[in-house]
Structure formats: C-alpha cells, structure tokens
Amino acid sequence: MNLVSTNPNTMEVIGEITCTDINSFNSLIEKSKAAQSYWKEITIDNRIKIFKRVKEKLYNEREELARLVTKENGKPLFESYSTEIIPTLSILNYYIKNARKFLKPHFERIKIPVMIHKKSWIEYEPYGVVGIISPWNYPLLLPMGRIIPALISGNAVIFKPSEWTPLVGEKIDSLFKSAGLPENVLQTIYGGAEIGEALVKSNIDKLFFTGSTRVGRIISKTAAEKLLPVSLELGGKDPAIVLPDADLDRAAMGIVWGSVMNAGQTCVSVERVYVHEQIFESFLNKLIELVSQLKAFDNSPYYDYSNIKLQAQVDIIREHIEDAISKGAKIIYGGKFDKNKVEPTILIDVNHSMKVMKEETFGPLIPVMKFKTIEEATALANDCDYGLSASVWTKNISLGKSIARKIQSGSVLINDCISYFGAGEAVVGGIKMSGTGRVNSRSGIMEMVFEKYYNYDTFTWQKKLWWFNYSEKSTKIIKEATQFLFDKNPLRKLISGVKVFPELLKRK
Ligand code: NAD
C-alpha cells in the first residue's frame, strides 16, 4: 500500500511513499538493536560530529526543505522558516553544545558515615531502541526535537512520521543518512495507525509519542501491559488572559497570531481568550480589525493562513461553531467554510458549557469571554482537562507572575504565546490530559536515558555490620548505630559512636 501526500491548499498530489510491511517488525527491531550496541559505544564527541554535519546539511538545504514543508503541510513559507527551520537548527545547536555536559557521569558521595568510603556515581544510559511517533502539524520540528536527543544520547531510533506528511519524514531520514549516521541507527517507517500500533507492540525499549490525547490514551494502555516507558506530548486548549492594564494593541496582535498561526493547528495555539470587562469592547474591536486583514491562501506565496490539512479536522471546527451557536454564542467575525478553507472566526457570548471552550478545536477560532475578577479568570483557565500552555497579558509583571503560578499548565508565557516551543533551553510539556513528557532543555535529553547507579567499596577487607549472622549482640549494635546516626543529643550520639566504631573495623 502507498501513502499519498497531498498539498492541502491546492489538493494536488505531491508524492507517494510505500507503507512499511507490518510483518517486518521483528527484523526491523533486530537491526536497530544491533546498530544501537555499536552506536552507544561511539564517543559522544564522535556522535556530535555527525550532528554538526546534519546541521550543516539542514542549513544548506533549508530552502528546499522549507518549500517541502509548505507544500505538504500547507503553512506559509514564512512559517516553514520561523516555526520549523529556525527552531530545528536552534535545537540542533543547543544539543550539540550541551549534550556532553548533560550526559556526563555525575559523582555522588554517600554521606552516611558507615558508607562514606564507598565511591559512587550515576551514568546516563540510553534506553536502547526508542520509537518516535509524530503528528503532521510540525512535520520537521517535532520529529527532530525528539530524534536529536534520542540519537545523541546513544539510542537507535525507529521513527514513524505522520501518514499525512511522509515526504518530510523521508527527508529527515535522508538528512541523517547523508550526514554519515551509521546504517540502521535511524530507521524510518511509513504508515498510519496500524503501523504505529505495531511499533508500540514491538520490542522497543522506550516510546516517545506526540499527537492527540485520544491516541495517547490507546498507546498508554498497550504500553502499560508490558510496562514500556512512554513519554506523551498531547493536545491542548490553551487560555489567554488579558488584564485591563495590558498593551491592548500588542496583546491583540499576539493573540490573533497565537490563534491563527498554522491555521490554528498548533498544540500550543491560543484556543480560548478571557478578557477583562473594562476593556472587552475595545479589545474585541482590535481583534476584529486584525483578523479582517488576514490573507487566506490564494496561490500567491505570501498568505497568512492555509487551508486545514485534514477534512476530519474541518468537521470538528464546524461542530464546535455549531455547538456554540446552539448554546447562545454569536459569530462577530468570520464563520465561512469553503471545503477545507476555514475563515478565522471570532465568537462571543461563549461559556464553558460549549465544546469550543473545553475541547481542542485545532483550527482558527477565537472564542472570547468576559471576566470580572482575576480569581474568576484563573478559575476559568483551570476549568479544563488539558494543561499544556497559557498566556497572561499585562504590564504588571509581578501580577502576571502570580497569575501564571496559579494556572495549571506545563508553561505560562507573559505577554507572548507559543514562541518558547522552538527554543532549546525552554522546557516544553504538559500536565493533565496534555501528557507526561518533556521536550527540549536538559529534560528533553533525560527522557531518552535512564540513570544507572554504580558504586564500589574501598574497604574490601571489611565484614559489613549489616551482613549475616544476626544475633543479640549485632541487634544491640544496630540499635546503637541508629542512635549514632539520628539522635539529636550530641552526647548520646558520641557514646553510641564509640560502641559502633570498632565493629565497623572488624575484618572478615
Ligand atoms: P494523531 O494522534 O491522530 O496522530 C499522531 C501519530 O500517531 C500519527 O503518526 C499517527 O499515524 C499515529 N497513530 C494514530 N493512531 C495510532 C495508534 N493507535 N497507535 C500508534 N500510533 C497511532 O494526531 P495528529 O492528528 O497527527 O496531530 C494532532 C494532535 O497532536 C493534536 O491533538 C495536537 O494537539 C497534538 N500535538 C501535540 C504536540 C505537543 O507537543 N504536545 C505537538 C503537536 C501536536
């Protein structure tokens, strides 16, 4: 079977890729395991050399790659640069610079007096074979953000790009191969849900899934059966809170961008807006003015928003609008659909009985709700099953910070939204139904390794106090040892210490 890749703006077929044979998983895994045992022995410095070449290639081929992303995903070329090429290069830079430091063994002296002579340390071990399943909405940035830390830390990767953007997936694969990554250290597989399921069920050692909460749940169940470690980066319903003192022009620009960028198909899109009653009307007018200036795809290279990639998503957007209208909401701008072209739409008179305020829309909708008090705004922001990101718009940074601390989400931006997503240093990830994993930063590489603890005993002549045989005498000594270690009274501590110390020096 073939995957057919289509440009959502023109509906032209741009390429085809053969699906991976579902019966080939055993041999795929064997190849990955063999490659990993070789790859993890390569020094980190030599591994990093390959990543430098990947970066160079990606940079040199940026125009071709950006155009491919635009064709396959639909997003404007500007966004293929600003939200895919630049962040991916930044993340490469970040791990090239920092991976060695993050993966350095870490010495940890045990402070318990009876073990002080032990030498102990922690090493960061790659899991082995990491499965990476990705969505289509950021077909370059999201896979690369997981593949880079997984490989650099010594894992082999089996990568499944979305069935809707396989050509960008194939390009990622070829970037690594042409940069000299040894054979089978990265294997890319193609297909839809059934291939994803087969990967989860296969003998991989860790799974990193990015996609919908619905699929995240299915995957979690399968993984739980075999206790497969899983990181999940799932959907969102990010709130934006606009306070009366906010710079309204700037807040309106930021929120329109945060809602409509990539046609709203971003996990950290602004999906609901809470505006203080004092500024509600003037803020709304600014939103309407800005949204009315946005340009839909029109065959020119410079448009602001594309068509919606998947028909099923168009149906969800329509359903959210219809549900809201049936419960009393009003469209004050937009609302038109033309096949998979959805006009950015501003809704008012919305409330939390409506899907548009509770479920992920993943489209260019801006539902705007009035609030009276900060407590009410925070409660509304938290009245949601998701907890990915959020934004607060105010000139009072200390107030912004205090609201940010009360919002239940993996991140909160003050006076901006989304932009942290492509920064290597920023920690990205959610809580609640938005998932469990973290990407970028030190946390992103820690998702790909486990801490392995080592110690050795330098007193090899010694019989340990805690070994067999237990007797009345040894029980007395262990009681004295407890007193020596934890008693608050220095005199009692000293007396017990004097009794315990000779026992510690006993030979075998
Ligand atoms: P999706 O869940 O439908 O698909 C994601 C991937 O999972 C695809 O590769 C798909 O083939 C695969 N898949 C589908 N069913 C599977 C199964 N049963 N077992 C294994 N794999 C399976 O999501 P999508 O439509 O591609 O992407 C949109 C969703 O992803 C949105 O909900 C969005 O919020 C979320 N997302 C989250 C983040 C994040 O970092 N938190 C980033 C981007 C997108």
DSSP states of 367-428? EEEEESSHHHHHHHHHSSSEES--EEE-S-HHHHHHHHHHS-SS--EES--SGGGG-TTS-B
CA 213 / ligand 1 centre spacing (Å):
8
Kindly state if the Cβ of 197 falls inside 6 Å of ligand 1: yes
Per-residue tokens: 195: 């291939």
Closest protein CA for atom 37 of ligand 1? 234
CB 157 within 8 A of CB 150: yes
The predicted-structure confidence for 397-449, as pLDDT tens digits, reads as follows: 999 999 999 999 999 999 999 999 989 999 999 999 999 999 999 999 999 99
The predicted-structure confidence for 349-380, as pLDDT tens digits, reads as follows: 999 999 999 999 999 999 999 999 999 999 99
Closest protein CA for atom 26 of ligand 1? 135
Sheet strands (E) in 213-338: 230-233, 238-242, 270-276, 330-333, 337-338
> Which pLDDT score is estimated for 361?
98
CA 209 / ligand 1 centre spacing (Å):
7
Kindly state if the Cβ of 223 falls inside 6 Å of ligand 1: no
The predicted-structure confidence for 386-407, as pLDDT tens digits, reads as follows: 999 999 999 999 999 999 999 9
CA-163 nearest atom, ligand 1: 11
State how far the Cα of 421 lies from the Cα of 100, in Å rounded to an integer.
Answer: 23
Kindly state if the Cβ of 215 falls inside 6 Å of ligand 1: yes
CB 17 within 8 A of CB 170: yes
For residue 464, pLDDT beyond 90: no
> Which pLDDT score is estimated for 463?
86
State how far the Cα of 235 lies from the Cα of 266, in Å rounded to an integer.
Answer: 9
Kindly state if the Cβ of 137 falls inside 6 Å of ligand 1: yes
CA 76 / ligand 1 centre spacing (Å):
22
CA-235 nearest atom, ligand 1: 34
CA 261 / ligand 1 centre spacing (Å):
19
> Which pLDDT score is estimated for 503?
86
Counting ligand 1 atoms within 8 A of each CB, the residue from 132, 159, 212, 443 with the most, and so the one to mutate, is: 212
Q: Give Cα 189 distance to the centre of its chain.
A: 21
Closest protein CA for atom 35 of ligand 1? 211
267 an active-site residue? yes
Angstrom CA distances, 193 to 107, 197, 215, 505, stand at 43, 6, 9, 63
Kindly state if the Cβ of 200 falls inside 6 Å of ligand 1: yes
For residue 508, pLDDT beyond 80: no
Kindly state if the Cβ of 393 falls inside 6 Å of ligand 1: no
State how far the Cα of 417 lies from the Cα of 80, in Å rounded to an integer.
Answer: 18
CA 198 / ligand 1 centre spacing (Å):
15
High-pLDDT (> 70) share of the chain, % = 100
Kindly state if the Cβ of 237 falls inside 6 Å of ligand 1: no
Kindly state if the Cβ of 376 falls inside 6 Å of ligand 1: no
The predicted-structure confidence for 61-96, as pLDDT tens digits, reads as follows: 999 999 999 999 999 999 999 999 999 999 999 999
**Nearest C-alpha neighbor of 156 from the set 39, 22, 28:** 39
Query: Catalytic pick from 233, 360, 447, 480?
Result: 233
Kindly state if the Cβ of 234 falls inside 6 Å of ligand 1: yes
> Which pLDDT score is estimated for 258?
98
425 an active-site residue? no
Kindly state if the Cβ of 359 falls inside 6 Å of ligand 1: no
Query: Catalytic pick from 79, 84, 267, 360?
Result: 267
For residue 20, pLDDT beyond 80: yes
For residue 130, pLDDT beyond 80: yes
The predicted-structure confidence for 303-348, as pLDDT tens digits, reads as follows: 999 999 999 999 999 999 999 999 999 999 999 999 999 999 999 9
Bridge partners (DSSP) of residue 240 are: 273, 391
- The pLDDT of 211-222, averaged and rounded, is 98
Kindly state if the Cβ of 210 falls inside 6 Å of ligand 1: yes
CA 211 / ligand 1 centre spacing (Å):
2
CA 336 / ligand 1 centre spacing (Å):
27
Model confidence band, residue 1 (pLDDT cutoffs 50, 70, 90): confident
CA-162 nearest atom, ligand 1: 9
CA 434 / ligand 1 centre spacing (Å):
12
Kindly state if the Cβ of 216 falls inside 6 Å of ligand 1: no
